[in-house]
């Protein structure tokens, strides 16, 4: 019944904000077209607000899970129109807190101790409350200041119902909406399902926080709070409480004489360091999760929290991403097109010349602006949208990368409007590629993987043969190689049979000879009678001819 009531609520909100106007009724099958014509929505007034704003207001009214979905959807600018994407980016995840007693019950149940034994002090008034969890301040028994993150009670059931309904709506959109197949709504909801359920596991977030902290433990660029593992569980996460200025509080940063240019540039350095050095990047660096340390305003450092969403790229994607970015920097559109085909981001039969011309059409008007005014993140979005015409399937990891770059560039421009992302990023990428394929780096890679290669080396011929046989010949050259391997295998089998024949012959020879002595004692070969040798020779001859 709860699912039915929730569906009725969703339909009501859709009609209230006239989202039905976004559907082309001529694309519907005739039964749905009749229902659509008879819908009471036609008695409602025509919408006066823009489509993007109506979508945002509808998601806000539907509640926290839909708000979070809208926030995630705002990063898929390769799928959305600009106005809708901009509106969805304004969604705020402000949710009323749940009761203090519920929070205490969850903590005590997860950590198996009374709240007074766990903490010296515990602030029942939450510091912040969001759709998935809320945060309380606390003091550990040893005096350390901490924050306690607690999963919202019953959130799993709410999410399950809303996700099921989202899948239903997505399938309808994919089938009947004019751009349904291009927008891939079912795929988008599936990505969101994985993301939201990952956020429910606070052990996973704690592990990611610990990894990010270790990556920057000796750096003055970024500080990540310490995880207190003895107080952390699937439903409860306790970590060090940090003191810093919200990154959006520009007035306070300027009042303490923070070096804003260096702060903006360091944000870019942190991003590229996480992506290319570690291939492990904080993918939810919106302003609410980023603070600035107050310790050294002239050499400012960042503080990052909430590592629930982490991105990672394969070595393959990192290499091609770096080369693509540098090719864009140099305005080498031919190379950009070739790299997209070479790495498989677009189909192999994509006409490179046509793709190059399309990329040039997108990029050239942008490059005519001063470098300081060019939005690198928006350029990538335009490229993704353009490549979609050539059936480019954007990988989830690249979407997270695009989202993070949008956040980083937006923060950087807010802190220091003259930020030149191009000149900040270009030397980093050039140095990374140079170092990545230097003799020293190659030697390190060899040392890293050599033990595994040596372990597999004796099995290599058998595996090559098995793969060729399983894969089957697909051309004259492969057929010839397979025939040669068959011939080698036949020779090996013949050699093995001969060895077996000789072994059996020698064994029979000894048995026959010994049997002819009629003695159970040890026998010297010279003492074996001649007729025994004749009997053994006959047996050997018979065996060899049979073979």
For residue 128, the surrounding DSSP H or E stretch is strand 128-129
Which regions of 251-376 does DSSP assign to beta strands (E)? 281-282, 290-292, 302-304, 310-311
What DSSP string describes 102-116? HHHHHHHHHHTS-HH
Residue 261 · residue 297 · CB < 8 Å: no
Report the C-alpha gap between 202 and 494 in whole angstroms.
Answer: 62
Residue 284 bears catalytic tag: yes
Report the C-alpha gap between 226 and 515 in whole angstroms.
Answer: 82
For residue 161, the surrounding DSSP H or E stretch is helix 155-176
Report the C-alpha gap between 436 and 427 in whole angstroms.
Answer: 14
Report the C-alpha gap between 466 and 527 in whole angstroms.
Answer: 52
Q: Which residues contact 345 (CB under 8 A, 6 or more apart)?
A: 320, 387, 392, 393
Of the candidates 404, 384, 417, which has an alpha carbon nearest to the alpha carbon of residue 272? Answer: 404
Report the C-alpha gap between 97 and 107 in whole angstroms.
Answer: 15
The H-assigned helical ranges of 516-547 are: 530-546
For residue 121, the surrounding DSSP H or E stretch is strand 121-122
Residue 338 · residue 352 · CB < 8 Å: yes
Catalytic residue among 284, 349, 493, 520: 284
Residues carrying an active site annotation = 284
């Amino acid at each position: 019944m709860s699912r039915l009531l929730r569906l009725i609520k969703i339909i009501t909100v859709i009609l209230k904000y006239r989202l039905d106007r976004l559907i082309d009724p001529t694309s519907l099958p005739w039964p749905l077209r009749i229902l659509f014509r008879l819908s009471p929505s036609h008695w409602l007034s025509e919408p006066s607000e823009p489509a993007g704003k109506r979508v945002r207001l509808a998601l806000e009214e539907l509640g926290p899970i839909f708000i979070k979905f809208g926030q995630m959807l705002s990063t898929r600018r390769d799928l959305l129109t600009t106005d809708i994407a901009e509106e969805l980016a304004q969604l705020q995840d402000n949710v009323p807190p749940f009761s203090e007693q519920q929070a205490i019950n969850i903590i005590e149940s997860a950590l198996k101790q009374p709240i007074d034994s766990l903490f010296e002090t515990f602030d029942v008034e939450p510091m912040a409350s969001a759709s998935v969890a809320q945060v309380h301040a606390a003091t550990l028994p040893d005096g350390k200041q901490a924050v306690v993150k607690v999963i919202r009670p019953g959130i799993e059931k709410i999410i399950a119902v809303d996700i099921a309904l989202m899948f239903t709506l997505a399938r309808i959109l994919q089938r009947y909406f004019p751009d349904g197949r291009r927008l891939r709504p079912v795929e988008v909801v599936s990505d969101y399902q994985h993301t939201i359920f990952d956020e429910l596991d606070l052990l996973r977030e704690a592990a990611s926080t610990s990894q990010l902290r270790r990556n920057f433990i000796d750096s003055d660029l970024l500080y990540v709070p310490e995880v207190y593992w003895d107080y952390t569980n699937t439903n409860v996460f306790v970590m060090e409480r940090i003191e810093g200025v919200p990154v959006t509080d520009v007035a306070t940063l300027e009042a303490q004489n923070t070096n804003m240019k260096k702060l903006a540039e360091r944000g870019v350095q942190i991003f590229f360091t996480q992506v290319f050095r570690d291939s492990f990047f904080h993918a939810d660096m919106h302003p609410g999760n980023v603070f600035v340390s107050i310790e050294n305003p002239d050499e400012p450092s960042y503080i990052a929290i909430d590592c629930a969403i982490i991105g990672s790229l394969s070595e393959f994607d990192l290499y091609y991403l770096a080369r693509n970015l540098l090719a864009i920097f140099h305005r080498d559109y031919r190379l950009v097109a070739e790299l997209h085909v070479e790495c498989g981001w677009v189909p192999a039969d994509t006409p490179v010349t046509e793709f190059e011309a399309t990329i040039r059409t997108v990029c050239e008007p942008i490059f005519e602006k001063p470098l300081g005014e060019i939005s690198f993140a928006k350029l990538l979005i335009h490229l993704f949208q353009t490549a979609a015409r050539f059936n480019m399937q954007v990988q989830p990891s690249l979407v997270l990368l695009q989202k993070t770059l949008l956040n980083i560039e937006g923060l950087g421009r807010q802190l220091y409007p003259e930020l030149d992302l191009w000149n900040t990023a270009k030397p980093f990428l050039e140095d990374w590629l140079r170092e990545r394929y230097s003799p020293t780096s190659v030697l390190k890679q060899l040392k890293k993987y050599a033990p595994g290669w040596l372990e597999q080396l004796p099995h290599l011929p058998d595996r090559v043969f098995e793969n060729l046989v399983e894969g089957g010949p697909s051309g004259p050259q492969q057929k010839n190689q397979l025939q040669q391997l068959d011939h080698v295998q036949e020779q090996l089998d013949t050699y093995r049979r001969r060895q077996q024949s000789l072994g059996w012959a020698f064994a029979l020879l000894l048995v026959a000879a010994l049997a002819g002595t009629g003695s159970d004692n040890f026998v010297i070969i010279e003492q074996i009678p001649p007729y025994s040798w004749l009997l053994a020779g006959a047996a050997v001859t018979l065996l060899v001819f049979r073979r």
